[in-house]
Amino acid sequence: MSRMGVFICWCGANIAETVDCEEVARYARDLPGVYIAQSYKYMCSDPGQRIITDAIQEHQLTSVVVASCSPRMHEPTFRKTAATVGLNPYMLEMANIREHCSWVHTDRRDATEKAKDLVRLLVEKVKRNQPLYEIEMPVTQRVMVIGAGIAGIQAALDVAAAGHEVVLVERKPSIGGFMSMLDETFPTLDCSQCILTPRMVEIMQNDKITLRSNAEVEQVNGYVGNFGVKIRQKARSVDLDKCTGCGDCWNNCMAQNRIHEPEREPECSVASPEIAAKVDAIAAKYADEPGGMVVGALQDIQEEFNYLRQDALTYLSRRISVPLSRLFAVARFYGAFSLTPRGRHIIRVCLGTACHLRGGGSIADTISRELGIGDGETTPDEMFTLERVNCLGACALAPLVTIDGRYHGKMTIAKMIHLIEQCQESGDTVAV
Amino acid sequence: MTEATRLQTPDDLAALRARVVERRSAKKVCVSICAGTGCRAQGSMELLAEFGRQLESAGLDDVELRATGCHGFCERGPLVVIHPRKIFYHSVQMKHVADIIDKTIQHDEVLPALLFRDPKTKQRCEVEGEVPFYAKQQRIVFRHNGIIDPTDIEDYVGADGYVALAKVLAGMTPEQVCDEVEASGLRGRGGGGFPTGKKWQICRNQPGETKYVICNGDEGDPGAFMDRSIMEGDPHAVLEGMTIGAYAIGASKGYLYVRGEYPLAVANLNVAIEQAKTRGLLGDDIFGSGFNFTVEIVRGAGAFVCGEETGLIASIEGDIGTPRQRPPYPAESGLWGKPTNINNVETWTNVPVILERGASWFASIGTEGSKGTKVFSLVGKVNNTGLVEVPMGATLREIVFDIGGGIQKKRKFKAVQTGGPSGGCIPESLLDLPVDFDKLREVGAMMGSGGLIVMDERTCMVDVAKYFLGFLVGESCGRCAPCREGVFQMHRILSRIVEGEGREGDLETLEKLGNYVKASSLCQLGGTAPNPVLSTLRYFRHEYEAHIKEKKCRAGICKELVQFRIDPETCTGCTLCRRDCPTEAITGAKKEPHRIDAAQCIKCGVCYDVCNFGAVEVE
């Protein structure tokens, strides 16, 4: 059985001016599980803290809620206070009725109601709290840095300078990362090699750093202070102690003249010349428009290819110099766009108000049931795509379904089932 | 067709008009077929081709065949009108074509079977105006829809098109145009209801050379399609309105943002722009006035929030359509940071007719604070679904019952929802409310773009609220937390309620949360998102309570709370429900009472809806 104490702070006028603290206390007193509740001018002051410690001892409270300022201010204060009289500090929680309530509202009545809500939430939370205890664990004093770009290199050097052992893991045969490909760096135009190369050398010279290049992290387990990491060291058939890094073996390799790295899929699929030509034609249509006409171009692409194929979008993005991320944002925002291929037949069910009232919802459910697809989905055989649309603006025909743009009005469940069957049999759109 | 020459002066325009009117003499026979989306979906294009074939084989070369824009009466499509008597046939099918040509066209006989029969008076109506659906309407915005061929600029010119533009460019200063529009009392038809003339004036007074006008055709409200019909059926009126507006504020470039779901509107507008360019009505030095203006079409891509003006601007700029903080308003800093004026399709369409016929004529229509007419898309459980244009101040009862022909299947009226996902539901007790901007706001709904969704006793208001919130959860752009998180949480609570997991206090939480979201959202999507919940809570609280306390959905919609059964006394054993049941949950021999196997029933409600005897009940 929990015996909870709730303490409401006025914070001088900060809280009390907009929140009726006495009323909140009265309210809290009646909450299930709360044993006592009281308010005071400054809970964080010495007398205020004494009110809490006295109450914990006198009433043998098992948990405490302090409703006052942000926990960022005084949570450590109150938890220490509670701990001095033997309450587990994690059995104390704070309700923020200042920053989240009194400071941001003006209406006293509403603010008081909100403060009550906040207190009630925290009361429920504390009920579910369990005492936590701090323990000490031995920590392995070794650090692994994954990735030996400039950031990883500097991190490894800093940790080593602090006296710890470091393992630096890098997937590529050589460390240095992107910075090794740069000429100058922003904004000072410093020579990037002048920054990078001394540090690369330092990595090799530092006794505390073990470098594992051409290696990949396979598995990480354990927890902070005690991780276990499995590294796959790729074969390179070179004795590193004797290797001078001259590169002769690399240059003369009979196999492929390079170290084998696993093939990776290119990040963006590349548009074929035919697709590129079609996108070119679409982009040209909107070339004179200021600012974009992105939406129009995407509509045309969808009409052309039945959906927004990624290769076409990638190509368009470069063609009209609009970031791909923005094209995706637009494509996701508007309901008319589909980023996945659609079926050969597109069934659109109107769910405008008139259609809703005349049973459009049941028609949509029927299609879903018959074809096993939901809104925006396509059947596995790529025959049908179902789209629920807001209003097709032909309410006299409600409930209305269109298949490939052909209108089928005054639809009934029986008619719909029949229509789907006919489409499936003939493999073509059915005229009714 | 005369050669498409550039119209260099207003006199050229007048001459062209005279030629067109003369050629289309009133006595000539013309078959005009509705080619709006509603009628197309019901086969009007096939019908048009069939007419062409049969007229040719009958040797009737002088009969004109015309594909027009939407007539509005989509419920009864395809619609065919035979001029010069303007005989109005509805629900015309292929098999009727031969009869129409033989009897009506060649022998001037009317086919009674194809005429509209007034369900009240049982009278057949020969012309459109006699049909009750049209009788109470006043068509200003729809002045050309269903009459002209939208893909032929000469048709538009013949119907006094571009007269207003000629008048403006020939003799009015931009200030005079702004003043005229302001004096007419025209307010933005997109939903906000801001005075159009004032908006133009603000944009006009901004410093800077480059300014833009935008037409907002991103008709996102589900259940609203009036802008679609205008763009499809009368594209030149939109262009003319925009050109006049551009002249008034000093812009030389315009953008037409059209919803991606409206391919026909895009096609017709493209045709119209090309024709207007050829005729010199768009481009440089229009009517020799030195004023230049071009229009570009931008297609939307399925994001509701792009109907919000700052979201729309971001979308045209090629970005994701997230709204931004206002001010600065687009009039100060809009498209590419330049002063920009955005109006909705219907607003632009009103502009030419105001300048042609004068502000005082326009101001004489409507109510104190709302002038002119409003097009509503009347949809839902109403007999005559379609587009309806009435003067401001018409009552909901007139719209729903006189024009709309009442509720389907003679069920009981429950509510009408206005303003799309941001609007509210109006109960039966307020049916005599005169509809204008201010009255709707008073009762917790709003005009919005003009969707009017009729609901009957088979509509669950909790489900409706959940539907709208679900829509908005999907369409919230996610930029500000109140909308992204608040609406999501409200939707979660509603989902719980319809699943029978409603709890005491849920309704209070919904109200509280709703008011927070309203007060603190960045744009009007979030700012109005709680409206469907708050207005249904205001008028239909008892339905919510029945869901929460009794775990009952009386409308029979919320599947977790509904059990259908067949009353053996009333059931005639007609087998209709058994045949229509998708899961074969209904059993029973012919002429014997049927029963529903609860284990197999998926509660789709088909049996309830098809039963002609009211034998299926909601427990």
DSSP states along B36-83: SHHHHHTTHHHHHHHHHHHHHHTT-TTSEEEEE---S-GGGPSPEEEE
**Residue A17 phi, psi dihedral angles, 5° rounding:** -70, -35
Cis peptide before A399 (omega within 30 of 0): yes
Cα separation, B4 vs B8, whole angstroms? 12
pLDDT range class, residue A289, cuts 50, 70, 90: low
A432 touches chain B (CB under 8 A): no
Which pLDDT tens digit goes with each residue over B11-21? Answer: 999 999 999 88
The amino acid at residue B587 is T
Of A352, A332, A329, the residue nearest A340 (C-alpha): A332
The shortest C-alpha distance from A366 to chain B (Å) reads 9
CA-to-CA dists, residue B369 to A162, B164, B182, B437, angstroms: 80, 25, 13, 8
Which pLDDT score, from 0 to 100, does residue B46 have? 92
Q: What is the mean pLDDT of chain B?
A: 91
Mean pLDDT of B268-283: 95
Which pLDDT score, from 0 to 100, does residue A291 have? 53
DSSP-based three-state secondary structure for A6? strand
Cα separation, B506 vs B526, whole angstroms? 20
CA B199, B201, B207, B211 torsion-angle sign: positive
Interface contact flag, A295 B455, Cβ < 8 Å: no
pLDDT range class, residue A420, cuts 50, 70, 90: confident
Q: Which of residues 232-291 of A touch B (CB under 8 A)?
A: 289-291
CB B343 within 8 A of CB B35: no
Interface contact flag, B605 A359, Cβ < 8 Å: yes
Which pLDDT tens digit goes with each residue over B53-84? Answer: 999 998 888 888 999 998 888 888 899 999 88
DSSP-based three-state secondary structure for B13? helix
Which two structure tokens, joined as six digits, stand for B17?
A: 């008009």
Cα separation, B599 vs B585, whole angstroms? 8
Q: Higher-confidence residue: B84 or A38? A: A38
Which pLDDT score, from 0 to 100, does residue B187 have? 94
The amino acid at residue B602 is I
pLDDT beyond 70 at A259: no
Cα separation, B243 vs B604, whole angstroms? 51
Which pLDDT score, from 0 to 100, does residue A138 have? 81
**Cα atoms in the Cβ-side hemisphere of radius 13 Å centred on A234:** 16
- Residue A88 gets the label, from left (phi > 0), alpha (psi -120 to 50) or beta, of beta
The amino acid at residue B218 is D
- Chain B: residue whose CA lies nearest to A302: B301
Interface contact flag, A351 B219, Cβ < 8 Å: no
Domain boundaries, chain A: 4-128, 142-251, 273-333, 345-426
Which pLDDT score, from 0 to 100, does residue A158 have? 96
Interface contact flag, B379 A396, Cβ < 8 Å: yes
Closest CB to B379: pick one of A289, A354, A366.
A354
CB B399 within 8 A of CB B390: yes
The amino acid at residue A114 is K
- Chain B: residue whose CA lies nearest to A390: B222
- Residue B227 gets the label, from left (phi > 0), alpha (psi -120 to 50) or beta, of alpha
Which pLDDT score, from 0 to 100, does residue B326 have? 83
Which pLDDT score, from 0 to 100, does residue A240 have? 75
pLDDT beyond 70 at A266: no
Interface contact flag, B225 A393, Cβ < 8 Å: yes
A298 touches chain B (CB under 8 A): yes
Which pLDDT score, from 0 to 100, does residue A264 have? 46
Which pLDDT score, from 0 to 100, does residue A271 have? 77
Of A414, A294, A102, A363, the residue nearest B579 (C-alpha): A414
* Residues paired with residue A184 on neighbouring β-strands, in sequence order: A191
A105 touches chain B (CB under 8 A): no
CATH architecture assigned to A345-426:
3-Layer(aba) Sandwich (3.40)
pLDDT beyond 80 at A130: yes
How long, in residues, is chain A?
A: 432
The amino acid at residue B288 is G
Decide the pairing of beta strands A401-403 and A406-408. Answer: antiparallel
Instruction: Please give the domain boundaries of chain B with CATH numbers for all domains.
Output: 10-131 (3.40.30.10), 160-363 (3.40.50.11540), 373-456 (3.10.20.600), 461-550 (1.20.1440.230), 563-618 (3.30.70.20)
A330 touches chain B (CB under 8 A): yes
Which pLDDT tens digit goes with each residue over A185-243? Answer: 888 888 999 999 999 999 999 999 999 988 889 888 888 888 888 888 877 777 878 88
The helix or strand, by DSSP H or E, that contains position B298, with its residue range, turns out to be strand B294-299
**Cα atoms in the Cβ-side hemisphere of radius 13 Å centred on B565:** 5
pLDDT beyond 70 at A143: yes
Among the CATH numbers 3.40.50.720, 3.90.1300.10, 3.50.50.60, 3.40.50.300, which is that of A142-251?
3.50.50.60
CB A391 within 8 A of CB B37: no
Which pLDDT score, from 0 to 100, does residue A428 have? 62
Which two structure tokens, joined as six digits, stand for B501?
A: 């997991």
- Chain A: residue whose CA lies nearest to B477: A333
Q: Higher-confidence residue: B550 or A173? A: B550
CB B118 within 8 A of CB B125: yes
Closest CB to A336: pick one of B38, B302, B464.
B302
Interface contact flag, A390 B318, Cβ < 8 Å: no
Q: Give contacts of B579 with chain A, Cβ < 8 Å.
A: 414
Q: What is the mean pLDDT of chain A?
A: 88
pLDDT range class, residue A432, cuts 50, 70, 90: very low
The helix or strand, by DSSP H or E, that contains position A157, with its residue range, turns out to be helix A150-161
Name the class of domain A4-128.
alpha beta
CB A366 within 8 A of CB B582: yes
Which pLDDT score, from 0 to 100, does residue B318 have? 84
Residue with tokens 């990037």: A192
Cα separation, A170 vs A215, whole angstroms? 6
Interface contact flag, A353 B298, Cβ < 8 Å: no
Closest CB to B299: pick one of A299, A352, A398.
A299
Q: Which residues, other chains included, contact B607 with Cβ-Cβ below 8 Å and sequence gap of 6+?
A: B564, B566, B577, B580, B581, B586, B596, B616
Q: Tell me whether the CATH fold assigned to A142-251 matches the one assigned to A345-426.
A: no
pLDDT range class, residue A427, cuts 50, 70, 90: low
Closest CB to B303: pick one of A333, A356, A409.
A333
Rg (CA), chain A: 34
- Chain A: residue whose CA lies nearest to B265: A393
